[in-house]
Structure 1
Amino acid sequence: MGNTSLRTIAADTRALGLSAPLRAAYEMSKRGGFHAVLFRGGAHWRHPATPVPLTNTLPTGDEVGQRCLDDARRVLRQGLRVFGRRVATGVSEPWCTDPLTERPWPAREPWWRIDIRSEARLSDVKHVWEAARHRDLVVLARAARLDPAGPWLDRLACLLRSWCEQSPPEQGVNWYSSLELALRAIAWNQILVLAGERLPRDVVTAMERLLLASARHLMVELPYTLSSMRNNHLLGDALGLIVLSRMFPTERRATWWARTGEKMFAAQQRRHFAPDGRMIEDSLSYHRFVLEMLIVRVMLGGAPADVQRDLHAASLHLARLGVFDGDVPQYGDWDEGRVLASSGDPLDVAGSVALGLMLCGERVPPRWYADFDELAWYAPVPPEETAPGAAAPITYTRPEATTSGGIARVERGPWRVWFKVDSGPSHGHADLTSVWIKHGGTWLIADPGTGAYNGPLEIRNGLRTSAAHPVRRPDGRDQLVPHRAFRWLNTGRGYLGPPLVLPDRTIVFGWHDAYARGQRPVRVGRAVVVATDYVAIVEFADPPGTAKCWSLTIPLHPDVTVENNTLIAGESTLELFGLDGHTAVRGRKTPFAGWHSRTYGHWEPATWITAESRADTAVWGLGTVPGSLTEPTALDGLRFEVNWDSAGACLVVTHIASGEVHHVRAPQ
């Protein structure tokens, strides 16, 4: 065994921590043939299902119904929706067909013998799994309910029958992931609620058999889930067991499934959520994904009070970030992951947030029921606005500056700015103290997105490491250091102070400890100043002189270009200041840089500005700053300094003319 293999094993063990022995035993079971023993038998279990009413049988509002029928037509004519495009998988090609290569994954091979990870794999398995989550089949079931005389029911029955014939228990790539089975069970439950009484009996019986096999799979695969998937996967697997126990209440194993699922869900929930609404999922996409898991758990009934508490906090967190005002930064991993079915924009997270708020007792604006499928199909009918004693719908007007879950959001004049200071252990990127900026509703500095998990590592790491984000790097170091496709070798925490709102400016300050390790530890701080005419970033380091050189990347939105020191976005231009000698890269393949990913599996050229500096303290930004930038600690009549100590950091802002002093404390 070579040194490289030993280093890889050591890194894997370090990343897995105490769960490494259990994961090692699991991998030996797969390779040694014991999985064949574990999954032997049980493929022909029979028991009638009792679908749980998780969905409305008809939506609230004609507009939503028409949107569903239009979507159903696209499903039949163009294929299933997978990451922004329509694919033939399942509709005109077998369910094992990879949408990217149009070649089949092994159809009759036990799933544990199929290679989905090595360089020799067929393709990125996320694409075939996305089609197999069957949310589009829920759309067809809805269409069959809306239009009983239409073609929807017959085509739905054909798709379900072909799935059951082509995907016997534990055979093929679509049985590989427990989470996929759990999500499909939730989708099938909705299909049975909407159309089960009209589907052919042989189709329903086949579905019931595979649902029972899914429950068995979830139980047998618990060692892997518990050792390696203590994140959204564990919640999703637990939710799948709870749903299946409700669907088969008289099955003799149902009590065991329910008890196991509830215990797993509660244990992971305690680890997963913080009181301020953030999660260990350091990702906008996965925040929505887990939010929808909480929604399903509440709709099932009998949820502990803390489930609704965490649902409310997690929903308010995204509301504070501005999801009802338009798109927000797509931080962390993005893959359009959903538990609920919608015919709306898959990039929009607001509908899930609206449903979460409504289920927690908030009265939302009636118009939202037409705007968001999530409300129209899953929420109770809204009360009449004129009903006696009816509360006024909640409004989400935010203050000029707000903080939530380690992220600050500032609006002033034409600017909308997000400042992400903290990180989380799951699905996050190396982006502590990232600054994302909109001007007049147009993105200027944007999160670069995700690309793909299972493609070449140079693309995966090219979009998730610090070099792709608007953060400072001492001597080119990465904040977290990537390991394989999902893990990191290091951790970092960020600390955000309260916003300082002055009559003519708003200032937010934070710092992180991601580089406080190794032979040259350094803490990195950043103040963001938002005025009507400019946004400025003031950089700090403690102790000074630790780094020989500081590197900075500024990823621009694909629609923005740069000429000398001018950013051009459509008809608008803005000056870039404080980055003398900067360079730009756009669409470079080797090394991978200058790209932007709007959704999973897609990336397009975008301009990344890069700059180098030897100064520990520096000022840069966009717009027009009055006066000159002759001092690294002075800007527009204010002086900035940071007092560091073992308990955190404090930004000191001094008005030069008057001597007035403000303090922004960011404790550890």
Structure 2
Amino acid sequence: MSLGWYIARIRSMSVPEIVFRLGEHLERSRVRRMSRAFASPPTHVHLHTIPGLDDKLIANATPAFCRRLDVTVANILEGKFSALGATWPDTDPENLFPEEAWRIDPQTGRSWPGSESFAFDIKYRGSGELGDIKYVWEKNRLQGLQALAAAVSLNHDRRALAALEDAIASWARHNPPYTGVGWNSGIEVALRGVSLILAYNFCSDRLNDQTKRLILQILSSSRDFLERFPSKFSSANNHAMAEHLGLLLIEATVRTRGGDLQRVRHQYAHIARETALQILPDGAPAEQSPTYGAFTAEMVLLGNFVADTLGLGVSGLAKQRLLAFADFIAALSTPGGSLPAIGDDDEGRVLTLDAATERSYVRSVAQAIQATYDDLGTCRQDEPDELRNVLFGCSRLSHPSGRHLRTFPQGGYTVVSDRRTGRYLHLVIDHGPLGYLSIAAHGHADTNAVVFSIDGEAVLCDPGTYLYHGGGAWRTWFRGTSAHNTLTLGGVDQSTIRGPFNWGHKADARLVETKNREDWLVRVAHDGYRARFGVDHVRTIEAAPSGFTLVDQLQPSPGTEEVSIAFQFAPGIRIDNMSADLVFSRDGDELGRLSFDHPGDVSVREGEDRIDGGWVSNRFGEMCPAPRVVWRGHLPPRGLRTAFHLAPNTAKAATCLRVLDGLSSS
């Protein structure tokens, strides 16, 4: 890590955190001198199953799940693996898990350090030649074991069992404790532990003694790591939740026969406490990312199940926050199931067959929560094919019908659903904090941004994430203000970026006013430019007869700095310049027109070979071209009014709208 990274991180730390980090550094020095062998637990410690997991799998596996499971397992047995928008080199079916499988980066073709390197010596931050460490971490989470174990449980698949045992043996042989990339981050250690424990629960009576012993040893060493190096202070986000979940499952699994569950109870108390911190009272995720919120909620859901099945009881507050999160996701979603991207998304999963083929992760988690605690009836997908929905259910989510305006005050979002010119309009307005804790790691500088869909399909969208450690300048771009549907003043971000996950100055956002009526109105503001330019950005979003308008102002006065206001359209949208208006359409269907009431320099870019050239990252590691409209100029004192006029619906749109109406409660 560079000196600049350390300086930026220290700036965000309190004195107690600095003391904690120094202690962490000393502990790493002690671990460096330890043996690299896996821990050998006492002879009176054994592996235990978690009651009910395998029974739920067998009882609830749907034909759709079984079909998807067959495809996933077939790919694994053929040596194929894809994740995070990348495809790994195929491995020999006769040698599915060579040492290189745990080290190779699929994008660069280069290998990360292995067992010859102390884990904490491996420099992975920044855009190094080896690639983005997220890729090798993904393989080392061993989440493919979940599919293999499910096939063993449901189909008594001997090839899947042999592959599962080979994978565990290979990983243990090439990844001794505290070496290589698999041992330098607590969340990776924890999620790998979850996968091993799920595999053990699904096929414990079929595993050979050597595999059971390896699982016991890996889990014991994982517990040692997680207890030595907890994520605290500025890093206590979803990482902390994952570590507590990993320890909860390890304590429930690795224990003496007939021993008490005090250590399990202790870890569940941490999960309940973190739930109250990471899911806000209105259901919005504190990290300001629906996908990270779902990731955290899925951990809580599994933790609640373990606590309940072991007779420890379930936190009422944890249940309440999970249901609030499901309600938040229902509000953000269109009835057809689309959900806007907001903030970071690295496609992390807890329970999964194959994240690369998952269709709607966030909704899947929300539906599992709803099914567990407040079932509203079967969702329109009668045969869920996700592992979490097989284990926990798949209830429908409730959507309001007709015009609706709803604000989530703690999370800082207002959602508007309306019908204009016979079309279904769905807007999400961001007026929330930058992110969670002092570094706000997964937030984007997108305050006052607006995204919207028409007839269930995205029109204005969030640009996405792309890459983390290997993203370089692109990582900065996708997090920055200019990439989002908001105003940028003087070419600088509303919040100050200090590294791939760090922030300095943070804009403070506020909801100024709402009017919930036919001529609805939402007014939001932030002070991100106050210290540098002496102004606040105030945006008013209000209903219009044929759509809606945005009015952007700088208060108390616009000053002399140039302003840019961006509108990132979704992939598949076409922009045509029709003199005074820009026409946006999809597949030949005109959706509407965009116009500005004050002259400026208006540009339209799509997929140009430049960092602001019109790109959207729909999934981690991928970018696709999409039109980006930018107005540049000087704001008049009254502000700039941008009008979105929706075109009257065609027969095709009317059909879509009827389908959406039919799904209004699913």
| Shift of residue 169, structure 1, vs aligned partner | 1.6
Change (3 A) 1:9 1:78: closer
CA contact (8 A) 1:244 1:254 kept: no
Residue 15 of structure 1 pairs with residue 26 of structure 2? no
Residue 62 of structure 1 pairs with residue 77 of structure 2? no
In structure 2, the partner of 1:566 is: 583
| Shift of residue 85, structure 1, vs aligned partner | 4.3
Residue 371 of structure 1 pairs with residue 384 of structure 2? yes
TM-score with structure 2 setting the length: 0.84
CA contact (8 A) 2:335 2:456 kept: no
Secondary structure of 2:9's partner?
Answer: helix
| Shift of residue 123, structure 1, vs aligned partner | 1.8
Change (3 A) 1:92 1:314: same
CA contact (8 A) 1:81 1:136 kept: no
CA separation in 2, counterparts of 1:221 and 1:38?
15
CA contact (8 A) 1:560 1:607 kept: yes
Residue 458 of structure 1 pairs with residue 473 of structure 2? yes
Change (3 A) 1:552 1:381: closer
CA separation in 2, counterparts of 1:364 and 1:375?
17
Residue 446 of structure 1 pairs with residue 450 of structure 2? no
Match of 2:634 among 614, 637, 654: 614
Change (3 A) 1:625 1:155: closer
In structure 2, the partner of 1:160 is: 168
In structure 2, the partner of 1:241 is: 247
Residue 420 of structure 1 pairs with residue 424 of structure 2? no
CA separation in 1, counterparts of 2:383 and 2:535?
51
In structure 2, the partner of 1:277 is: 283
CA separation in 2, counterparts of 1:610 and 1:381?
41
In structure 1, the partner of 2:400 is: 397
Residue 146 of structure 1 pairs with residue 154 of structure 2? yes
Match of 1:507 among 521, 527, 547: 521
CA contact (8 A) 2:524 2:538 kept: yes
CA contact (8 A) 1:315 1:357 kept: yes
One-letter code of the match for 2:49?
Answer: P
CA separation in 1, counterparts of 2:394 and 2:205?
24
CA RMSD between the two structures = 3.0
Match of 1:103 among 82, 106, 110: 110
Match of 1:115 among 116, 123, 144: 123
CA contact (8 A) 1:19 1:228 kept: no
CA contact (8 A) 1:285 1:336 kept: yes
| Shift of residue 396, structure 1, vs aligned partner | 3.2
| Shift of residue 568, structure 1, vs aligned partner | 3.5
Change (3 A) 1:612 1:366: closer
In structure 2, the partner of 1:289 is: 295
One-letter code of the match for 1:307?
Answer: A
| Shift of residue 439, structure 1, vs aligned partner | 2.3
In structure 2, the partner of 1:661 is: none
**Structure 1, unaligned runs of 5 or more:** 383-392, 627-668
One-letter code of the match for 2:503?
Answer: W
In structure 2, the partner of 1:603 is: 623
In structure 2, the partner of 1:386 is: none
CA contact (8 A) 2:289 2:344 kept: yes
In structure 1, the partner of 2:339 is: 328
Match of 1:496 among 508, 511, 528: 511
| Shift of residue 367, structure 1, vs aligned partner | 4.7
The more displaced of 401-410 and 33-42 is: 33-42
Q: Deviations over 1:474-493 (max 9, x none)?
A: 22231111111001112223
One-letter code of the match for 2:13?
Answer: L
Residue 72 of structure 1 pairs with residue 79 of structure 2? no
Secondary structure of 2:554's partner?
Answer: strand
CA contact (8 A) 2:333 2:340 kept: no
CA separation in 1, counterparts of 2:500 and 2:90?
26
CA separation in 2, counterparts of 1:201 and 1:105?
31
1:220-259 matched pairs, under 5 angstroms? 220-222=228-230, 225-250=231-256, 257-258=263-264
In structure 2, the partner of 1:196 is: 204
One-letter code of the match for 1:477?
Answer: V
CA contact (8 A) 2:569 2:627 kept: yes
CA contact (8 A) 1:174 1:180 kept: yes
| Shift of residue 228, structure 1, vs aligned partner | 4.0
TM-score with structure 1 setting the length: 0.84
Q: Deviations over 1:72-108 (max 9, x none)?
A: 2223235233114442488455322222223322221
CA contact (8 A) 1:60 1:381 kept: no
In structure 1, the partner of 2:654 is: none
| Shift of residue 269, structure 1, vs aligned partner | 3.3
CA separation in 1, counterparts of 2:505 and 2:467?
22
Secondary structure of 1:403's partner?
Answer: strand
Change (3 A) 1:381 1:233: closer
One-letter code of the match for 1:514?
Answer: G
CA separation in 2, counterparts of 1:273 and 1:449?
22
1:72-91 matched pairs, under 5 angstroms? 72-77=73-78, 79-88=80-89, 91=96
CA separation in 2, counterparts of 1:450 and 1:444?
18
Residue 171 of structure 1 pairs with residue 179 of structure 2? yes
In structure 1, the partner of 2:46 is: 48
| Shift of residue 408, structure 1, vs aligned partner | 2.0
Match of 1:526 among 525, 539, 543: 539
| Shift of residue 50, structure 1, vs aligned partner | 0.6
Change (3 A) 1:202 1:532: farther
Match of 2:645 among 623, 631, 652: 623
Change (3 A) 1:119 1:333: closer
CA separation in 1, counterparts of 2:538 and 2:370?
35
One-letter code of the match for 2:407?
Answer: T
In structure 2, the partner of 1:553 is: 566
1:423-434 matched pairs, under 5 angstroms? 423=433, 424-425=435-436, 426=440, 427-434=442-449
Residue 582 of structure 1 pairs with residue 602 of structure 2? yes
CA separation in 2, counterparts of 1:202 and 1:144?
17
| Shift of residue 232, structure 1, vs aligned partner | 0.8
Greater relative contact order structure (CA < 8 Å, 6+ sep): 2
| Shift of residue 374, structure 1, vs aligned partner | 4.6
1:639-654 matched pairs, under 5 angstroms? none
| Shift of residue 275, structure 1, vs aligned partner | 1.1
CA contact (8 A) 1:297 1:303 kept: no
Secondary structure of 1:237's partner?
Answer: helix
Q: Deviations over 1:583-616 (max 9, x none)?
A: 1233344445421101111112222211123224
The more displaced of 472-481 and 400-409 is: 400-409
| Shift of residue 453, structure 1, vs aligned partner | 0.7
Q: Deviations over 1:106-158 (max 9, x none)?
A: 22122112221255462211011112222222011112222214532222222
One-letter code of the match for 2:130?
Answer: L
The more displaced of 198-207 and 582-591 is: 582-591
CA contact (8 A) 1:89 1:99 kept: no
**Structure 2, unaligned runs of 5 or more:** 649-666
One-letter code of the match for 2:616?
Answer: H
| Shift of residue 253, structure 1, vs aligned partner | 11
CA separation in 2, counterparts of 1:443 and 1:381?
25
Match of 1:360 among 373, 376, 395: 373
CA contact (8 A) 2:466 2:623 kept: yes
CA separation in 2, counterparts of 1:380 and 1:467?
41
CA contact (8 A) 2:476 2:497 kept: yes
CA separation in 1, counterparts of 2:189 and 2:81?
18
Change (3 A) 1:487 1:305: same
Q: Deviations over 1:625-662 (max 9, x none)?
A: 99xxxxxxxxxxxxxxxxxxxxxxxxxxxxxxxxxxxx
One-letter code of the match for 1:102?
Answer: G
CA contact (8 A) 1:459 1:592 kept: no
Secondary structure of 1:57's partner?
Answer: helix
In structure 1, the partner of 2:32 is: 36
Identity %: 22
Q: Deviations over 1:226-282 (max 9, x none)?
A: 144121111111121111111123299996854663454344334323210112211
